[in-house]
Amino acid sequence: MIAVMTGMASSDVQAFVALGSNLGDREENIRLAVDALRDSDGITVRRQSSLLENPAVGGPPDSPPFLNAVAEVRTTLPAHELLDRLLDIERQLGRVRNQKWEPRLIDLDLVLYSDQIIDRPQLTVPHPLLHERDFVLRPLAEIAPQVVHPRLQMTAREMLHRLAGVD
């Protein structure tokens, strides 16, 4: 049986944020998002992966390619407050949500929050598609190859290898 955690942080915890952009100056959008994370109370950016360019997944067929990255943060914020901060940063940088998987200036997803499993209407951690997304797994495995997915009990490197069909 998998326990559903409350999402409360007892002290500072390790979390991973996926960043993506496929409109405007994509590299600058990601840099501004990481800077906003660094400037946030209760959040310390520890590492950031290199940028990865890839085709848009889902959304309109003519969507421009994305730049993606993953940042490791330490935070004293509970998971739901960290998510609220990510959404605030998206709004500050000009993100407007009209339809799912549309092109966007910035996309910030909370993909892992410590070893917690959180199932709430507004927040699911680990991100439910994490293990299926090369554009998240590659940058995650670059900076934290041994971090473990708490549902699958697999490391980032193992999930990436499984996705690529490598044993």
Which residues are annotated as catalytic?
95, 104, 107, 109
Cβ–Cβ under 8 Å, residues 65 and 56: yes
Q: What is the DSSP letter of 130?
A: G
Euclidean distance between CA atoms 93 and 105, whole angstroms: 7
CA-CA distance, 82 to 153, in Å (whole number)? Answer: 24
Report whether 116 contacts 125 (CB < 8 A): yes
- Give, for 85, the enclosing helix (H) or strand (E): helix 79-92
Nearest partner of 16 among 140, 150, 145, 132, judged by Cα: 140
